[in-house]
Chain A
Amino acid sequence: MSRISQQFEQLSSAGRKALVAYIVNGDPVREATLPTMHKMVEAGVDIIELGVPFSDPMAEGPVIQKGHERALVHRVSLTDTIAMVAEFRKTNQHTPVLLMGYANPVERMGYASFAERAASAGVDGLLTVDLPPEELEGLKQELASRDMDNIFLLAPTTRVERAREIAAHASGFLYYVSLKGVTGAGHLDIESVKRKLDEFGKLTDLPMCVGFGIKDAASASAVAKLADGVVIGSVLVDAMGKMAGRPAGEVADAVGAIISDIRQALDNL
Chain B
Amino acid sequence: MNDVNKQTVDYSAFPDERGHFGQFGGRFVSETLIYALDELQEIYAGLKDNPEFQAEFDRDLAHYVGRPSPLYHAERWSRELGGAQIYLKREDLNHTGAHKVNNTIGQALLAKMTGKSRVIAETGAGQHGVATATVAARLGLKCQVYMGAEDVRRQALNVYRMKLLGAEVIPVTSGSKTLKDAMNEALRDWSTNVDDTFYIIGTVAGPHPYPQLVRDFQAVIGREARAQCLERTGKLPDALVACVGGGSNAIGLFHPFLRDESVAMYGVEAGGDGVDTGRHAAPLNDGIPGVLHGNRTYLMEDENGQIIETHSVSAGLDYPGVGPEHAWLKDLGRVKYVAINDAEALAAFRKTTRTEGIMPALESSHALAYAEKLAPTMDKEQIIIVNLSGRGDKDILTVADIDGITV
B35 touches A157 (CB 8 A): yes
- Distance, CA A182 to CA B31, complexed state (A): 11
A155 touches B27 (CB 8 A): no
Which one of A79, A134, A162 lies within 8 Å of B18 (CB-CB)?
A: A134
Task: Say whether B301 faces chain A, with CB atoms less than 8 Å apart.
Answer: yes
Task: Say whether B184 faces chain A, with CB atoms less than 8 Å apart.
Answer: yes
What chain A residues lie within 8 Å of B174 (beta carbons)?
Answer: 62, 65, 69
Task: Say whether B306 faces chain A, with CB atoms less than 8 Å apart.
Answer: yes
Distance of B211 from chain A, by nearest CB (Å): 15
Q: Chain B 190-221 against A: per-residue CB contact (8 Å), 1 yes, 0 no? A: 01111100000000000000000000000000
- Distance, CA A123 to CA B98, complexed state (A): 50
A155 touches B305 (CB 8 A): no
Q: A59-B30, A158-B31 are in contact. Are A180 and B307 (CB under 8 A)?
A: no
Nearest chain B residue, comparing its CB with the CB of A129 = B30
What chain B residues lie within 8 Å of A180 (beta carbons)?
Answer: 32, 191-195
Q: Which of B281-298 contact A (CB under 8 A)?
A: 289-294, 296
What chain A residues lie within 8 Å of B30 (beta carbons)?
Answer: 58-59, 129-130, 153, 155, 177
Distance of B30 from chain A, by nearest CB (Å): 4
Q: How large is the interface on A (under 10, 10 to 19, 20 to 34, 35 or more residues)?
A: 35 or more
Task: Say whether A191 faces chain B, with CB atoms less than 8 Å apart.
Answer: no
B303 touches A130 (CB 8 A): no
Task: Say whether A247 faces chain B, with CB atoms less than 8 Å apart.
Answer: no
B28 touches A54 (CB 8 A): no
Which one of B26, B27, B31, B304 lies within 8 Å of A77 (CB-CB)?
A: B304
B303 touches A108 (CB 8 A): yes
- Distance, CA A267 to CA B27, complexed state (A): 40
Nearest chain A residue, comparing its CB with the CB of B289 = A107
Distance of B188 from chain A, by nearest CB (Å): 5
Q: Chain A 56-93 against B: per-residue CB contact (8 Å), 1 yes, 0 no? A: 11111110010001001001011100000000000000
Nearest chain A residue, comparing its CB with the CB of B176 = A55
What chain B residues lie within 8 Å of A182 (beta carbons)?
Answer: 188, 191-192
Task: Say whether A104 faces chain B, with CB atoms less than 8 Å apart.
Answer: yes
Q: Chain B 92-116 against A: per-residue CB contact (8 Å), 1 yes, 0 no? A: 0000000000000000000000000
A56 touches B27 (CB 8 A): no
B interface secondary structure, majority: mixed
What chain A residues lie within 8 Å of B36 (beta carbons)?
Answer: 157
What chain B residues lie within 8 Å of A188 (beta carbons)?
Answer: none
Task: Say whether B264 faces chain A, with CB atoms less than 8 Å apart.
Answer: no
Task: Say whether B396 faces chain A, with CB atoms less than 8 Å apart.
Answer: no
Task: Say whether B34 faces chain A, with CB atoms less than 8 Å apart.
Answer: yes
Distance of A170 from chain B, by nearest CB (Å): 12
What chain B residues lie within 8 Å of A159 (beta carbons)?
Answer: 35
- Distance, CA A59 to CA B195, complexed state (A): 17
What chain B residues lie within 8 Å of A201 (beta carbons)?
Answer: none
- Distance, CA A158 to CA B38, complexed state (A): 11
- Distance, CA A134 to CA B194, complexed state (A): 21
Determine which residue in B28, B31, B184, B301 has the highest number of CB atoms from chain A within 10 A of its CB, and name it: B31
- Distance, CA A55 to CA B321, complexed state (A): 14
Determine which residue in B36, B192, B194, B306 has the highest number of CB atoms from chain A within 10 A of its CB, and name it: B306
B175 touches A130 (CB 8 A): no
Q: Which of A37-66 contact B (CB under 8 A)?
A: 53-62, 65
Task: Say whether A181 faces chain B, with CB atoms less than 8 Å apart.
Answer: yes
Distance of A67 from chain B, by nearest CB (Å): 12
Task: Say whether A259 faces chain B, with CB atoms less than 8 Å apart.
Answer: no
Q: Which of B25-78 contact A (CB under 8 A)?
A: 26-36
Determine which residue in A69, A106, A157 has the highest number of CB atoms from chain B within 10 A of its CB, and name it: A157
Q: Which of B141-181 contact A (CB under 8 A)?
A: 174-175, 180-181
What chain A residues lie within 8 Å of B289 (beta carbons)?
Answer: 107
Q: Which of A123-163 contact B (CB under 8 A)?
A: 129-132, 134-135, 152-159, 162
B184 touches A78 (CB 8 A): no
Q: A107-B290, A185-B192 are in contact. Are A56 and B32 (CB under 8 A)?
A: no
23 sample A-B contacts, Cβ–Cβ < 8 Å, listed by A number: A55-B175, A55-B306, A58-B30, A58-B187, A59-B188, A72-B306, A78-B305, A103-B28, A104-B299, A104-B306, A105-B305, A107-B290, A130-B28, A130-B30, A130-B291, A132-B31, A134-B26, A152-B31, A153-B30, A156-B32, A157-B32, A158-B34, A181-B192
Q: Apart from A55-B308, A131-B28, list 18 A-B contacts with CB within 8 A.
A: A54-B305, A55-B175, A56-B175, A56-B292, A58-B184, A59-B30, A69-B174, A75-B304, A78-B305, A104-B290, A104-B291, A130-B28, A134-B18, A134-B27, A155-B32, A157-B33, A158-B35, A162-B34
Nearest 5 CB-CB pairings of A with B: A108-B305, A105-B305, A157-B35, A181-B192, A77-B304
